[in-house]
Structure 1
């Protein structure tokens, strides 16, 4: 399999493009969330494609004013590693974005798998 090689800037542009393609009603509800691209997870593994780092909507309670933003992180090297070509990379970014945004809304991995987004 040919290795895809995109630098951080080109990869971030793909993430922004895929984010723009998501349905408005999925993205409009994201409150106090930032999207971040990192090369790899802290443990250096290639197993994790993305991560939702925050308090999901169903557990927020008095959450809000003055809170640091939640983060949705996409890991560039693992996503490149699982993608054979640019189209597959776009698909993987799309699925990872949907997956992590779903965690923001309180949808867990089991439910995501049941819905076909696992």
Structure 2
């Protein structure tokens, strides 16, 4: 992103940052992400927010949907592919409020959602982050 950027990054820019974050991951993670679809939307839809009991759409910046790797089977058919959803407006708000770079925020959310793809729970990932701090 340019130092002189005056408009909020669009979905294409968020996608570029997400793809760059995935490209920086170790190969043994990346090789399991080829079939995962990356979707950039402004906000999660109302059904998703209701499913998680979230009233404020700015509270959800990313979501993994699909079966984790350990639960996948060639016997299952008709399911949508695994997806990582990034929600642009909540990411932009967090970026503006915290001063953390947008690249760092997008990378954090991508890593978190990739963790779900590998079957980690939110508690597992918080424990890993705490241990690394």
Normalising by structure 1, we get a TM-score of 0.82
Quick check: which has more Rg, 1 or 2?
2
- In 2: Cα distance, 1:14 partner to 1:86 partner: 17
Q: Which residue of 2 aligns with 1:54?
A: 66
Q: 2:13 aligns with which of 4, 10, 14?
A: 10
Partner of 1:68: 80
Question: In 2 relative to 1, CA 86–8 (structure 1 residues): closer, same or farther, beyond 3 Å?
Answer: farther
Is contact 1:4-1:86 (8 Å) kept?
no
- What count of residue pairs does the alignment treat as equivalent? 115
CA contact (8 A) 1:58 1:105 kept: yes
**Structure 1 stretches of 5 or more lacking a match?**
none
Give the Å deviation of 1:66: 5.8
TM (normalized to structure 2)? 0.74
Structure 2: unaligned runs, 5 residues or longer: 1-5, 47-55
C-alpha distance 4-101 of structure 1, shift in aligned 2 (>3 A): farther
Report deviation, 1:5.
1.1
How large is the Cα RMSD of the aligned pairs? 2.6
Q: Is the 8 A contact 1:53 1:70 kept in 2?
A: yes
Structure (1 or 2) with the greater helix fraction: 2
Partner of 2:31: 28
Provide, for residues 60-87 of structure 1, a one-character-per-residue CA deviation record: whole Å limited to 9, x for no partner: 2445666431111111111111013886
